[in-house]
Structure 1
Amino acid sequence: MDNKRIIKIKTIQIDSKGEQEEIELVTEGKIFLKNEHIYITYEETELSGMNGTTTTLKIGNQSVIMKRFGNNNSQMVFEKGKRFTTKYKTAYGDLKMEIVTQHIEINVQEDLKKIEVNINYDINISGLFEGKNIMNITVN
């Protein structure tokens, strides 16, 4: 199996005032299976504001773990109805980040030809940003 794939991540952030910002990243990454989980790794770009950071997604049946290493370090766990608190490490210091996953949908085609993940979650970063995020990840 060729493990190089095109990864498209589209995120819509809706702040507490209802204002929306859309971020879309299309990049090449790698995909592999390990212990019944799908792993996707890719390099962040200047567009995402996290240049110099590697992101790894660990996809299970009903959960996704997103880990970032490099200039920005963080871990986010998405599992419906669960609250997850972590530290978001930046060059400017650590920020407390809390997420609550409202909806998660994972669709995987046979032989991993296409993977689609949809996650809706509430986020609060140290009181500096509070809102809702809608994230769509497609791997072809």
Structure 2
Amino acid sequence: MAVKITVNTTITNGSEKETYELITFGQYIQKTSSVFLRYDELMEEGSAKTVVKVSDQEGSIVRNGSVEIRLPFQMNKILVGSYKTPYGVLDMETSTRGIRHEFDDVLKKGLINILYDLKVQGNHAGTYHVLITFEEDEKDEYSRAGKK
């Protein structure tokens, strides 16, 4: 299903707090035990294809393109991910505090909510709250842009 996606990311590190918002179009795919959101992201480094996967107690965010990031999530577990840069690969570690997915078949909208602590190269990089809301895009901007 073609969807309009809003990604709100809040990063808290001590008393500092940063918030980012991305509005884009993509695809929502529901398989037996997992759901997927696929979308393109424009960043300072260039563009990346992003896939967010969520099942009952686990999930992942994978970006491929100008940046390559693999972040795995599993409730109450510390998992190792990676961030590939032109200068080398950085080790990343996620400690998932919360992961949730909802979808309303009638309204054709839903959300993915992930709360986790992130370490980069062993150093605390902050607590990340990623809230992704999405709804059916009846105009199907994603397909019209030739991204199917």
TM-score range, shorter chain: 0.7 to 0.9
Q: Which 5+ residue runs of structure 2 have no aligned equivalent?
A: 136-148
Going from structure 1 to structure 2, the CA distance change for 1:117 and 1:56 (only over 3 Å counts) comes to: same
Going from structure 1 to structure 2, the CA distance change for 1:111 and 1:57 (only over 3 Å counts) comes to: farther
Residue identity (%):
29
Going from structure 1 to structure 2, the CA distance change for 1:68 and 1:94 (only over 3 Å counts) comes to: same
The Cα RMSD (Å) is 1.8
Is 1:74 aligned with 2:64? no
1:23-62 maps to which residues of 2 (within 5 A)? 23-46=20-43, 49=44, 51-62=46-57
Post-superposition Cα deviations, 1:24-76, rounded to whole Å, max 9, x if no partner, equal 10100112233432221101113xx4532100112212322111111111211
Q: CA deviation at 1:78?
A: 1.7
User: Number of paired residues?
Assistant: 135
- Does structure 2 conserve the Cα–Cα contact (< 8 Å) formed by 1:7 and 1:29? yes
**Counterpart of 1:44 in 2: which secondary structure?**
strand
Q: Which 5+ residue runs of structure 1 have no aligned equivalent?
A: none
Q: Which runs of 4+ in 1 moved over 4 A?
A: none
TM-score (norm 1): 0.86
- Does structure 2 conserve the Cα–Cα contact (< 8 Å) formed by 1:10 and 1:136? yes
Name the counterpart of 1:118. 113
Q: CA deviation at 1:20?
A: 0.6
Name the counterpart of 1:14. 12
- Does structure 2 conserve the Cα–Cα contact (< 8 Å) formed by 1:13 and 1:22? yes
TM-score (norm 2): 0.82
